[in-house]
A and B are shown apart, each in its own frame.
Chain A
Amino acid sequence: MAFTLPVFLCLASGFLLVSIGWQSYRSFADRVFVGSLSAGFGLGIFSVVYFLSLLLRFTHPILVDLAVCAVLAGAFLLFRIRSAPATAGDAEQNHRQPPWLHRFATAAFAIALAGALYSAAMRVLAYPHGDGWDAFSIWNLHARFLFRGGSNWRDGFTSLIPWSHPDYPLLLPADIAHFWTYLGHDAPAVPAIIGFVLTFSTVGLLFAALSLLRGNLAALLGATALLATPAFVELGTAQYADVPLSFFVLASIVLVCLYDDRPYNDQPASDSPPAGLLVLAGFAAACAAWTKNEGLLFLCAILAARLITLTRRHGSTNWIASGRRFLPLLIAVVPAFLLIAFFKHSIAPPGDLFSDPSTTLHKLADPARYWAITRWYFKGFFRFGRWLLVPGTILMIGFYFACGKEEHVEPQLGIRTSVLALALTLAGYFAVYLITPYDIYWHLRFSLTRLLLQLWPSAIFLFFLLVKVSPVRDSRGATLPLPLS
């Protein structure tokens, strides 16, 4: 009971939030989509609620959780009454493949899923406190400060222990502490379960989103590729924050693509896609920023990418069309900016990244650093997943050349926004390595793999949106043009 209630409240709040923007549960993909998003968004809400409860000294989190659920339920009912169910083209049913091919892809997916579940379960049992220093020296340590610290919880966010990165955002620690508060003790199972759930929610989200946009074969292949990335499953159960971050990055990108590139965009303006999808995309980006500092970079990247692609699409004169596609995203991220700014300014000590500004210019002007990072990016591109024999990145390049690009698709607004956002994020990582106060090789060695894994699920998603896996047909068998937004 002590664990069931917070799990229910967490999932319920996530479900209610997701349902404000997504109201179709007809297909299997719809249900997987809503279920996966609900788990992650519920954790996002749970984290913020706990942090605000600490700040405002609310001692009964259950009352706050119930109040949040009630507010979201009210909003859910309001939106449900006012809006018709989302009318997405059933892309899932419009893709046809030979049965044997579908059966093969399903079998490969099932084997990859079983292998990943087995590996994840073994890792959770073998390393109940996480696998690696970051688990106990950063994330779970912060959770202990929040949970055990009582009214002095801020003690842990001190410059006396800079190695614990007290400036890192609190999505995971606050989530863990929230569940511990219900349990009454700091059970190591909680961070392990959160890591496990977010790892497989990422897979579920990738599968469902591809199924909705490109059909089952693309969904099965994409999910198999992610499940068969050993480093992804290993990191997801290590109780690090990189896979949770990858979930929120993927969620944001998926929601932007669903908003821009689904069939309802061919309908009249009155039936334009629900702005709730963009609000949810903004919420996901905000959760990314509340998970890790790299998420803050991604948040800025997706806002910039959105502005750039909208300006190119609509020109600088059609502000109304651009605003309609940008403001819901912006509105959703403003509270996160404020929350993170408050945390960084009033609670956390300064981070280590800009601790040595005097040498920053010198580092920026050093070509050797550019060359070193470029080489590591190149090597990392082939190595980061710990694949056996054939790197997943090579496999995808080969797959692209064999199958080609989707013939009927010009890259859509959502895809363009997402690709640009990922490119800007990668460029941001590059800039961080340039000015890092640490030894550059040490920094690259211990972080580049994790940074690439943060973007890997999104990269797989965008890849399968662009590659031609199967003809897309309507119910009469005619080839469907993919929607132009």
Chain B
Amino acid sequence: MSESPSSDRVPARTASAVLVFGLCCLLSTARLVIDAPSPRDSPGDIARRSDQRFSALKAALPERGVVGYIGEPEIPALADYYLAQYALAPLVIDHSPNHPLVIGNFPDSSSKNALPNDLKLVKDFGDGILLFANQVSAINKDEQ
């Protein structure tokens, strides 16, 4: 079981390995520090695109329930939709115009032209945010 006192020493190979290991780790630490973002890079980006942007609309919507949503068709615009849902929770935002109330979200206002005919503008909140009433959905809901 016991060994000679000399075996108490760490072999040179192990010591070298520890040195190399530590130094290589510190290389990646350098990357971590260099790549650290400055708080000035994107201050409150999500808050600006969600909570702040939708605050006026939120006051005009019911507190609970489901409302519809239309936005720009491109894939990147999905983030705008997700941010709308994030801002307006606990209201559920269904990506569909088939609801009595429909939110229009067009940060790039040039794409507002192709709106469904059933939608009637209730209010323009500015910054590409609109609130529509879907008359067909409202009638269907009343009938149900």
Q: Give the B-binding residues of A (Cβ under 8 A).
A: 96-98, 101, 104-105, 108, 111-112, 115-116, 118-119, 122-123, 125-130, 133, 136-137, 140-141, 144-145, 148-150, 152-153, 155-156, 158, 160-161, 163-164, 188, 217, 221, 224-225, 227-230, 233-234, 385-390, 392, 395, 398-399, 402-403, 468-471, 473, 477-479, 481
Contacts and interface: CB of A to CB of B under 8 A. Distances in A.
Nearest to B29: A115
A147 B44 CA distance: 22
Contact of B64 (A105, A129, A155, A479): A155
B61 interface: no
B89 to A, nearest CB: 4
Interface string B1-22: 1110101111001111111111
A382 B30 CA distance: 19
B85 A471 contact: no
A112 B26 contact: yes
B129 interface: no
B37 A111 contact: no
Nearest to A151: B64
Contacts of B20: 395, 398-399, 402
Contacts of B45: 127, 129
Interface string B120-137: 000000000000000000
A389 B27 contact: yes
A126 B85 contact: no
A395 B21 contact: yes
12 contacts: A97-B10, A98-B15, A108-B22, A127-B45, A129-B46, A136-B50, A140-B86, A164-B85, A188-B47, A392-B25, A395-B21, A402-B20
Given A161-B94, A388-B27, A388-B28, A123 B36 contact: yes
A129 B42 CA distance: 11
A123 B25 contact: no
B85 A115 contact: no
A141 B84 CA distance: 11
Interface of B: 1-3, 5, 7-10, 13-33, 35-39, 41-47, 50, 64-66, 78-79, 82-83, 85-86, 89-90, 92-94
Nearest to A135: B46
A406 B42 CA distance: 48
B28 A387 contact: yes
Nearest to A106: B22
Given A126-B43, A156-B90, A395-B24, A230 B17 contact: no
A214 to B, nearest CB: 13
Nearest to B86: A136
Contacts of A112: 25-26, 29
A470 B10 contact: yes
Contact of B28 (A98, A104, A126, A230): A230
A390 B85 contact: no
A155 B62 CA distance: 14
A366 B27 CA distance: 41
Given A116-B32, A399-B21, 8 more contacts: A116-B29, A122-B36, A128-B46, A137-B82, A225-B21, A229-B28, A399-B20, A479-B3
A386 B29 CA distance: 11
Given A122-B39, A479-B1, A388 B46 contact: no
B70 to A, nearest CB: 15
A148 B14 contact: no
Interface centre among B29, B31, B38 (most CB of A within 10 A): B29
Contacts of A469: 14, 18
